Structure 1
């Protein structure tokens, strides 16, 4: 008996649903378009601070070094402004690619060596223009905040200018020189979605800009500035467009 009542109820509901369906004009039902929030092409601009470092200088050979020769400081680099622009493309919800052109303003590099009672001071300015191709992975998004990681490969034009070696009695000077070298970077940061098209980007990069060289110093040859690296803190905007 219970089964009969259940069967009757099910058939009644089915009939009611069919009647309602017959009363609906399907031509008047609005279409629902499924679209993605991720516009593939984007432009970016950013600025920040480069906390630079240098592995070491080549020793300036003036012909008077002895067995007592040693470095007091193999190289320091000041912090400097950096800024860049780029164009990018989002492959999907996770992976995006971009290319950037970045300028790093002049910062001062210094070093000291000593031979007996003579201390020599090395000092000059270095600036860089960096071309980089980057790939990023956008991780999980929470409340419009998306952390990301990435890496880049490229080339850096490292320009040394106003370089001199001072031994207290004589100053040796070098003309400005630009040296190209391989560069790479590792990136991490977060993107904060301000609108469908605009993302505020806070990022960190570890950058290796390769080596730089001075011009010849008073007929004694050039010096190599070995292994320029930097910890970079940046803020910027990504703007998506069709």
Structure 2
């Protein structure tokens, strides 16, 4: 009996490695890559801007005495003015957007001068000012309302800062105030005459070029700081009065430093997380 039990124990001990070697390892299933739902960055936005415009007038001319004598102003100067505006736009993708803007330039003062008239020998004080040679000082003011369609390229994102460039095209409604013309004789500076010419108003073709950067303030609010160049083309300036006029300006350039805000309606939408699919776990199988 003792020999039988010893033999059974020896067989059991010698079989244990066999059971360990036959342990089945289940197939390893790799977890799928975590994915995120793609949310488009496009959407509508509103903007508001304010700035200061340095204006450069390209000149002016008028008819002196008759329609055959078209004379340039000796000097022209259009002072700087405050600009405010707003608009609505659409962010097409991460790098391209468009908007429609309306901007108003507050009153900018104009000051110019002209010279002309007869020879010194022709001067007769009894005839009044400018019966001989004369010079004049011309004072007026101008306001402008621009409607532009614009397109921008957002160059890239550097933290919270996004630089951009853009261009726009449209029209500007220019309104000239009455021009006050004071002419004085060069022979007798006290011999002066003043005339008022009715100001003109008209729509002008306008194009613009922009560059700047936006700064993320919140998920849906951006600050916008930049520069805009506008070219407003020529048009009527003032009408005829007392043997002088009408007059026309040759257009002007507007160099603007601007700052504003842009509010995006879906700026706070973020990418949503999609959890991986359930992975079945197989229990170990022993053979």
Pick the TM interval, shorter chain: 0.7 to 0.9
In the TM superposition, 1:165-204 aligns within 5 A as: 165-168=181-184, 169-204=192-227
1:181-206 CA distance string (max 9 Å, x none): 10000000000011111110001011
Given the alignment, which residue of 32, 39, 56 partners 1:35?
A: 39
Partners of 1:31 and 1:153 in 2: CA distance: 42
Partners of 1:70 and 1:201 in 2: CA distance: 40
Give aligned pairs, total.
Answer: 217
1:4-46 CA distance string (max 9 Å, x none): xxxxxxxx9x84734x97xxxx9xxx9853324x341100000
Partners of 1:175 and 1:153 in 2: CA distance: 30
Match of 1:85 in 2: 86
Match of 2:28 in 1: 17
Match of 2:145 in 1: 129
The 4+ residue runs of structure 1 with deviation greater than 6 A are none
TM-score normalized by structure 1? 0.81
Contact in 2 for aligned 1:39/1:197 (Cα 8 Å): no
Match of 1:221 in 2: 245
Partners of 1:59 and 1:111 in 2: CA distance: 12
CA RMSD in angstroms comes to 2.7
Partners of 2:107 and 2:63 in 1: CA distance: 22
Q: 1:222–1:72: structure 2 CA closer, same or farther, 3 Å change rule?
A: closer
TM-score normalized by structure 2? 0.69
Q: 1:90–1:110: structure 2 CA closer, same or farther, 3 Å change rule?
A: same
1:138-190 CA distance string (max 9 Å, x none): 00110110110000000000000031221121112122321111000000000
Partners of 1:98 and 1:111 in 2: CA distance: 37
Greater C-alpha Rg: 2
Match of 1:8 in 2: none
Contact in 2 for aligned 1:70/1:114 (Cα 8 Å): no
Match of 1:237 in 2: 261
Whichever structure has more strand as a proportion of its residues is 1
| Structure 1: gaps of 5 or more residues | 1-11
| Structure 2: gaps of 5 or more residues | 1-22, 120-132, 185-191, 267-287
1:218 CA drift (Å): 1.1
SS at match of 2:48: strand
Match of 2:5 in 1: none
Contact in 1 for aligned 2:167/2:210 (Cα 8 Å): yes
